[in-house]
Structure 1
């Protein structure tokens, strides 16, 4: 058992939180290079913390030792969403997961497909009508928000436009509480972001409770009938499911997909993805690998343990960094290159080495639903459009917190494909 590379510093003065949040990718890359190790220690949120940048160590943290490294019960997610399947630990988390999983698979999953298809078609068919470049991240975020509110809350934009807009605004205000200092201050003419977020949370909970009481159809009706631990649990989970966090994550992945496949040099990739659903799956895996929507996740050591052979004392934090894990050169050759075919070659069957949405027994329960939505959206785009950056030269450098996306939102032009025939440099296979 070896000592962790690096230095955990001293209380307050040695904290590196600002350095990490300013640029988490550079923060980790510099220390991996310095220590020549993909596991190291530093001080984050004024707690000694082990940073995990390798596939092996990530799997150890989230799979083999998930009963030792626990969710932090005091973190901001718990304050903002309450006790949910994401924030709880131990038996409570397991029971919540068992209760909720049926809503995200089988018949329930299939019944969502028609709605997903209709929302995608309605939004995406107008991408080329304005004749102007599209800010794709914003377009995908709105599409994803409509999807989430319609699926989980039975609030459809075309049927209840005022309520839809109200909830969307409240979700945005609530989200800002997750990315602001947790200081609840309210004075005349000014409120802190956290205070505003808490107010938005209360208003959202009122809408959600009304839905749970009066709407017995769809996801809301199914959720209210589940054997959950208390009366507030269903409402807290609905708050989580309609959170702005989900549309932002979906918009992040769709933006990365369109950027990766934009321009004339990706014509063959787009054509192959139209004709071969397995290849489209590999493309989306590679998008997720290179541009994970979330930088990672955090745990707390409940007892002395080890990670990758290094001693981790009790009460240490443990942070897995998705961007770094996904570029572990021991697992992924040419780790910085976009190579979808790696998933049918050396990395075939290794999807479990990705951690964009967690891993192991605590991975995202909505992963299958996310996969359906992404494939529906991407298939529609591939069958109906060719696209490219406009203007051609744009700064596409990513920011990684709170959700990854280019710091300067990119704009693209979408050109309709000829239907039913192939002409020019790229053509459609039809619907």
Structure 2
């Protein structure tokens, strides 16, 4: 057992939260180089914290020792969403997951396919119509929003446009307040972002409760019939599932996909992805590996333990950094290169080494639904368009918080494929 390299400094003065949140990737890269270790110590949120940037450390934290490292009960997510499958610990988390799993697997998952297909077609069919470059992140965020509100709340943009717009606006206010300072202040003509978020949450909860009381179809109808711990649990989970977080994560991955496969030089890769499902799977895994939508996650040590051979005392934080874990050279050769072939070669069967959506028993409950949606959306793009950056030279430097994407939203021009060419692809 070794001592964590680095130091936590003194309380408050030694805190590195601002530096970390300003640029988490550079923050970790510099310390990995300085300490020559992918696990190191720093002070985050005024708590001594082990930063985990290796596959081994991540697997121990989220899988083998997940019962020793718990979700923080004071976390902002808990304050904003209540006790959900994401925020609870121990037996409560297990029971919630057991109850909800049926909604994201088997027949329920299959029943979503037709709606996913229809949303992709409706939102993506006109990308080339204007003849102008598209801000793809915004277009894909709109696509993701239609998806989650239709699937989880039975509110579809084409059927209930006014209600749809109201919910989108409330979700946006809720999200922006969630990532602002948690200060609940109201004065005449002004209120804090956090206060606005709380108001938006109350309005969203009223809509959700009305849906749960009166809608017997789809996800809403199935959710209210589950054996959940109390009457508020279904509402809290629906609030989580329709939050702006999910569309932003989907938009992040689709944006990275289009950027990686952009331009004439990537035409061969696009055509191969249409014809070979295993290759498309490798492309999507590689997009997720290099450009994970979330920077990572945080736990608190419930007792003295170790991670990757380093001692982590009780009460310390432990943060896994997905971008760094995914570029661990011990596991991924040429870690900074986009190589879809690695997933049918050296890294075949290593999907569990990715942690974009967590890992182990507490991974994202909707990861299979996300996978179905991404494949459908990407296949639609591949079969119907060629695309390239427009203008060709753009600053594609990523920002990583709160959701990863280029800091300057990229614009892409789409060219509709010849229908006969598309038809041949459809039958291949």
TM superposition score category, shorter chain reference: over 0.9
Task: State the distance in 2 between where 1:355 and 1:177 align.
Answer: 26
Q: CA deviation at 1:6?
A: 0.2
CA deviation after TM superposition for structure 1 residue 17, in Å: 0.2
Query: 2:425 maps to what in 1?
Result: 429
For the 8 Å contact 1:419–1:430, the answer to whether it is kept is no
Query: Are 1:411 and 2:407 matched, yes or no?
Result: no
- Kept in 2: contact 1:167–1:204 (CA 8 A): yes
Aligned partner of 1:385 in structure 2 is 385
Aligned to 1:165: 165
Task: Give the alignment's TM-score, normalised by structure 2.
Answer: 0.99
Per-residue deviation, 1:141: 0.1
Secondary structure of 2:156's aligned partner: coil
- Distance (whole Å) between structure 1 residues aligned to residue 52 and residue 9 of structure 2: 18
Distance, in Å, in 2 between the alignment partners of 1:179 and 1:34 is 31
Pairing of 1:9-28 with structure 2 (within 5 A): 9-28=9-28
Contact kept in structure 2, 1:420 and 1:430, CA below 8 Å:
no
What CA deviation, in whole Å up to 9, does each residue of 1:308-361 have, x standing for no partner?
A: 111101110000000000000000000000000000000000000000000000
Q: CA–CA distance in 1 between the matches of 2:284 and 2:401?
A: 21
Determine the structure 1 residue equivalent to 2:110: 110
Q: Tell me how far 1:428 sits from its aligned partner.
A: 6.2
Counterparts of 1:319-338 in structure 2, within 5 Å, are 319-338=319-338
Structure 1 residues not aligned, in runs of 5+: none
- Number of aligned positions between the proteins: 427
Encode CA deviations 1:152-210: one digit per residue, 9 max, x unaligned: 00000000000000000000000012211111011111111100000000000000000
Distance in 2 separating the partners of 1:277 and 1:346: 19
- 2:187 is matched with 187
Residue equivalent to 1:204: 204
8 A contact 1:40–1:51 mirrored in 2:
yes
- Structure 1 counterpart of 2:94: 94
SS, match of residue 123 in structure 1: helix
TM-score by length of 1: 0.98
Correspondence list, 1:269-308, <5 A: 269-308=269-308
Structure 2, unaligned stretches of length 5 or more?
Answer: none
Q: Which residue in the other structure is 2:224 paired with?
A: 224
Residues 276-302 of structure 1, C-alpha deviation per residue, up to 9 Å, x if partnerless?
Answer: 111101000000000000000000000
Equivalence for 1:75:
75
Q: Which residue of 2 aligns with 1:248?
A: 248
Alignment of 1:358-377 (within 5 A): 358-377=358-377
- Cα distance in 2 for partners of 1:116, 1:414 equals 21
Question: In the alignment, does 2:259 pair up with 1:263?
Answer: no
CA deviation string 1:228-276 (max 9, x = no partner)? 0000000000000000000000000000000000001101100000001
